[in-house]
Amino acid sequence: MRDWDQWLQEREWQPVAADEFRGLPADEKLRRIRHSSAHVMATALRHVRPEARFAIGPATEHGFFYDVKLDSPLSPEEIAAVQEGMGKVAKEKQPFEVAVIPHADAVEFFRDKGEQYKLEILERLVDQTVTFYRNGDFVDLCAGPHVPDTGFCHHVKLLAASPAHWRGEQNPSLQRVSGTAWDSRDALKNYLSFVEEAKARDHRVLGQTLDLFSFHPWAASALWHPKGLIIRNELGRFWRELQPEYGYVEILNPVLYKPDLFHTSGHWEHYHEDMFIVRDEAGDPDFVLKPMNCPDTMLYYKTQAHSYRELPLRVAESQVLHRNEVTGALHGLMRTRSFVQDDAHIFLAPEQVQDEIRQLLELVERFYSVFGLEYSMKLSTRPEKFMGAIEQWNAAEAALKASLDAAGREYTIDEGDGAFYGPKIDISIQDSLGRRWQCGTIQLDFQLPQRFELEYTAQDGTRQTPIVVHRAIFGSIERFIGVIVEHFAGAFPVWLSPVQAVVLPISDEKHLDYAVDVTARLRKAGVRVEMVQYESLNYRIRQAEKQKVPYILVVGEREQEQGTAAVRRHKVKEQRVLPVADVVLEIMDKVRARELDVHVAKIAAKFVEPSAATTEENPY
């Protein structure tokens, strides 16, 4: 075996140029601080856990992580020891140095060190020279770039150590040690304040606290409680009122199909590993739980002949879908194995594409504005594995780009991230915490209509193949609800609140009959209202505030005599005394208008986000 310490000393190590680093834009400096902080963490971790074997350690949007193989999970005491060690490494201002290494030497080095994950990375880099970076006694396979020395990594905080999957494995084998890193003490402090706010808004916590939904390890999605189902139903009612204005019809198809459907659509070739498959006695695929609504909507189209006069034909379906996501990808409502998607498929002639996309962009704006959600768009182009002719792809991408340009929409281009059957416009909504969630999508598809041999009679009497636009705006209903629970911190607008008002009699003996009458009047008008008695008034008010009920109506002697109620709004100090009829009118006006009557704090404004692109892919 080589003397690797001697071998390392003989390499031509080059320091990271301090002058170059000082001249970088602030966002690039921050990105390098975060990447370097992953190495600082690894340096400290190796002293706490010498058996650690390292996979990837990139910068992320607000920090970094390193996926590592450990004999057992890190304890809180060990995480604290790693944090302390990071402080010592930063204080030592260890220089970052880089050396170019032949591929064969790199393989031999990491094989002798027992670094199996580095070897797997090197397998993808055959016939290439690679770079090692070192600081102190830590040496890593890394493309960089880094800061000049570890002293730039002072403002760092470890946040979590959680299970992680290596390259799609079914069960997690790694520990992801993650943290945040900033360029000043104040920036770190502000971000940690943001993290605490995010924890308080976690939809998995609020779902239990507000009795909306819960999770069970035996279930493929959430268990919806009555209050949570009210929110879900209100969203569905809103959507079903809005869609007919834009000319949509709604259908309902089965969830279970023969594999032939997906062989015809092409999904089997590209997607069958993510499907739930029911097998026959011989073990062969017999039925499939559908993972998307596209193929069977093509079947609906084929049930009758169509003319150009019917186009665009806008067909909506919100059916339960199932996808066999790996365990490590599951996250509350944000990623489930069973979900409902607000799909629509629009069949149209080529000359109608631009106008249809323009109308869809208008619908997107109208929809998200109801919730006070900001959003961004990206045009995702042809992936490496695709279906159809390149000429059709080029035409489809050009059509989407022209539609976005004509509508004056800002967008970015995400090369190679389109669906296998066509390019798409992905729509990411931004919540009050500044996080982006990919929910909506508009996809142009030339492939499925051909594979299903769809036709319409054109104006000249010829038989033509329609183009299909796939469209979702909620995306997954489950994910959208998870997003808005956190966006509103559980304090929903009145129209969406499971309980819109609570009536509290000051005295059960003296004022109960009046409270019952007020409750009945509100309920008859269509208000979702509860009456709460027995405990002390202050306790009941606190409980109503914790449950984030928009209207709290307190009734006592004065209110009983005057036919009024003392009205409190959630998190509003002012109390008003109003006639009950006026309270009913105010609530129902807000409901009918779907008024955004809550203040949505922009929590992300507490810290400055970097604009430099970060990645969760290994630099190699």
Q: Which are the catalytic amino acids?
A: 294, 323, 341, 343, 345, 424, 470
Buried b (16+ CB within 10 A) or exposed e, 577-606: ebebeebbebbbebbeebebbbebeebbeb
Separation of first and last alpha carbons in the chain:
27
Q: How far is it, in rounded angstroms, from Cα 326 to Cα 315?
A: 31
The closest alpha carbon to 429, from 478, 483, 374, belongs to: 374
Q: How far is it, in rounded angstroms, from Cα 47 to Cα 97?
A: 20
| Partners of 224 in the β-ladder | 213
Angle between helices 353-369 and 390-406 (to 10 degrees): 50
Q: For residue 134, give the 3-state DSSP assignment.
A: strand
Measured in whole angstroms, the distance separating CA 477 from the mean position of its chain's CA atoms is: 12
Q: For residue 428, give the 3-state DSSP assignment.
A: strand
The order of strands in the sheet holding 436-445 is 248-250, 313-317, 343-348, 467-472, 436-445, 424-430, 374-380, 412-414
Q: For residue 58, what is the DSSP state?
A: -
Please identify which residue in the block is written with the tokens 């570890």.
150
Indicate the helix (H) or strand (E) that contains 88.
helix 76-91
**Angle formed at CA 600 by CA 596 and CA 603, multiple of 5 degrees:** 165
Q: How far is it, in rounded angstroms, from Cα 263 to Cα 295?
A: 10
Helices (DSSP H) in 218-292: which residue ranges? 226-242, 260-265, 267-271
Backbone angles phi, psi at 176, to 5 degrees: -95, 110
